[in-house]
Amino acid sequence: MRGPGKGFPTRSTVTFSAVDDSNAALGIASYVQPDMVYRVEEADRMLSRTQVVDGTAHRQEFDITDEGGLPGAPSLQETTATTLTIDGVPVSARTAKLERTVLLAGGSATTSVTHYWVLTDDPEILLRRSYGEGSAWSVVATDVKATLAGQELHVVETKEESLDGKGGHVIKTIRRSPKVPGHVVESIVQHFRKADDTNPWLVTHERVSKMEP
């Protein structure tokens, strides 16, 4: 995917609306906030975000950068052949690990290890990344269908899991399409109090409800 803000004409607008996933019977709360409107103020240069809270409009402007909507893979020197399953189909991949030593206060040091899985035919495409116990990012589907403004989109779905430092964990699911300014079509963040909890205690769910032109 190209940079998420690139290639869209001036005045292109995307509105994100919150989805209430609360369920009192299951103890699930939902964080619901007012709509956020993203607008391309100047093609390939400037993007704004506006949110009206208690009758007051809060507006921010951002430079449109060349950063991709999906994380890229680092240069991996020594890799091993492996297979990942995506959309129920085996995908040929290469895997490797990178170690990085971090100096701590007092002169001590610690080593962090990150494992990467990349597409064999294009090693710049990252398929999965794990960086510590309970923390991982991965492409879980590439042919999910979403309907937006009467248009059917094929979106890429990624999932990121991380520990929250309090004994629980967070799962963040994002669906992206290059046909949408910013690329994000839907975002779901689930907070779990314990590692083995089936239901989250808090959900933040937002998706595109309107797109112009």
- The total of structural domains in the chain comes to 1
pLDDT reported for residue 69:
66
156 is in which domain, residue-wise? 19-31+68-212
pLDDT digits (tens, 9 = 90+) for 103-134: 877 778 888 889 999 999 999 899 999 987 77
Ramachandran category for residue 21: left, alpha or beta (phi over 0 → left; psi -120 to 50 → alpha) = alpha
**Confidence at residue 1, expressed as pLDDT on a 0 to 100 scale:** 42
Closest CA to 16 of 213, 212, 206: 206
122, part of any domain? yes
Report yes or no on 86 lying in a domain: yes
- Per the domain annotation, does 62 fall within a domain? no
Query: What per-residue confidence (pLDDT) applies to 23?
Result: 97
In a domain, 156, yes or no: yes
Residue 60 lies in a domain: no
Under-50 pLDDT residues of the chain: 1
The verdict on residue 46 lying in a domain is: no
